[in-house]
Homo-oligomer: A and B are copies of this chain.
Amino acid sequence: MQELKDRIVREGKVLPGNIIKVDGFLNHRVDPTIMVHIAEEFGRHFDMDQVSVILTAEASGIALAAICAQRFNKPMIFAKKAKSDNIEGGLYQSDIFSYTYKKKVTLLVNKEWLSSEDKVLIVDDFMANGEAMRGLCDIVTSAGATLVGIGCAVEKGFQGGGDRLRAAGMNLKSLAIIESAEPGNIVFREDD
């Protein structure tokens, strides 16, 4: 998606440790215009009529997933991280490793909101090692639901998470795949 790649080149910052910050429009400050365009691009790739629910993980996936939900008039679920007192029993759970926080976190979805009848589109803003995506796939499997596909805005291709999901047969569409990133030189994978 050229508009997204242009924004990454123009506004993205490359920090030590292969961290690519796009927090001016995607995941701290959110520009709703590009979010709607990303949602529409997902709509061109996935059959949204088939989707019954959009699933993401808190926190930074929520903005994009909410705008997708609104654009296609679907309910959206965000998996919660860790355990709060506001979530009682009856949960789908998946343990993942958060490279951001350098610790294990548990993704939780209340069983009330996801069933074997559901056809799920997973949406996230960012994928590096793909741990959050793997956890969300686990939860879809635990629910006996059907995974329609995975839509990701920005994938760090060089960290392998996306390619592992593709190798496992997942219908994953990332709108900008970063192959390498140095200050002033961000290289994208060619579109398929």
Contacts and interface: CB of A to CB of B under 8 A. Distances in A.
Interface of A: 15, 17, 19, 21, 23-24, 28-33, 35-36, 58-60, 62-67, 69-70, 73-78, 80-81, 84-88, 100-102, 109-110, 112-113
Contacts of A77: 28-30
Contacts of A109: 28
Contacts of A75: 29-32
A24 B75 CA distance: 10
A59 B62 CA distance: 8
A3 B66 CA distance: 20
Contact of A58 (B33, B58, B65, B67): B58
A23 B67 CA distance: 18
Nearest to A109: B28
Count identical subunits in the complex: 2
27 contacts: A15-B88, A17-B85, A19-B85, A21-B86, A23-B113, A28-B80, A28-B87, A29-B76, A30-B66, A30-B77, A32-B66, A32-B75, A58-B58, A58-B59, A58-B62, A59-B62, A59-B81, A63-B63, A63-B65, A67-B67, A67-B70, A70-B70, A84-B100, A84-B101, A85-B101, A85-B102, A86-B100
A46 B112 CA distance: 35
A83 to B, nearest CB: 9
A91 to B, nearest CB: 11
Interface centre among A19, A66, A81 (most CB of B within 10 A): A66
A110 B28 contact: yes
